[in-house]
Structure 1
Amino acid sequence: MKQYIAILPMLDEEKNKLHRPAHLVYLAELERKGSIYLKARFVDGVGGMVIYNAQSLEEAEQLAYQDPLVIHGARSCEFHELLIV
């Protein structure tokens, strides 16, 4: 299993507030399945990040693009593969 970080910059604060509850439910389900290594929000309010456990970048992207915040345009995504040392 590899780890991929999705950096999720804020695009729309109002949409973020509206869809945050569904986002948290979605992430909790992924955590339960073992698909999330770590998640965090940035203290300065500019967004957050999720580190996914996935077999490929494509799998990590699929997980992130199903996030309600991304679906509804509250956040964008930027991906990088991690090597945790």
Structure 2
Amino acid sequence: MRYYAVFLPMKDVEKSKEFRSQHLKFLEQMRQEKKVLMNGKFTDGSGGLVIYAADTLDQAVSYLKEDPYIKEGARDWEIHEWAMETNAEFDF
């Protein structure tokens, strides 16, 4: 399993508001399916970050393209494979 960090910079504020609940439901389902490790918004309102778990980059991109934010043009995206390092002091 590999991890992919996806930056979701703001593209359309109104569409982001309109599709937020669908986006969050999508991410919840993906977390339940163990396809999303974690996600969250940037506190400055510029967008958000999703960490996908996938076998390949193509698989991660296919997950990403199902996100309502991407399908509806609310956000742009940038993806990078991410080598996760853990801190034993944190209990995830």
TM-score where L is the length of structure 2: 0.90
Q: Which runs of 5+ in 2 are unaligned?
A: 86-92
1:39 counterpart = 2:39? yes
Q: Which residues of 2 match residues 41-80 of structure 1 at below 5 A?
A: 41-80=41-80
Corresponding letter in the other structure for 1:33: E
Residue 40 of structure 1: how far off its partner (Å):
1.1
Secondary structure of 1:51 counterpart:
strand
Structure 1 residue ranges (4+ consecutive) displaced by more than 6 angstroms after TM superposition: none
Q: Distance in 1 between matches of 2:6 and 2:60?
A: 8
Q: Which runs of 5+ in 1 are unaligned?
A: none
User: Considering only CA atoms, is the larger Rg found in Structure 1 or Structure 2?
Assistant: 2
Corresponding letter in the other structure for 2:67: D
Corresponding letter in the other structure for 1:40: G
What's the C-alpha RMSD, in Å, of the aligned pairs? 0.5
Percent of aligned pairs sharing the same letter = 38
Secondary structure of 1:24 counterpart:
helix
Which has the larger helix fraction? 1
Q: Distance in 2 between matches of 1:42 and 1:13?
A: 14
1:11: which partner in 2? 11
TM-score where L is the length of structure 1: 0.97
Residue 37 of structure 1: how far off its partner (Å):
1.0
User: For this pair of structures, how many residues does the alignment match?
Assistant: 85
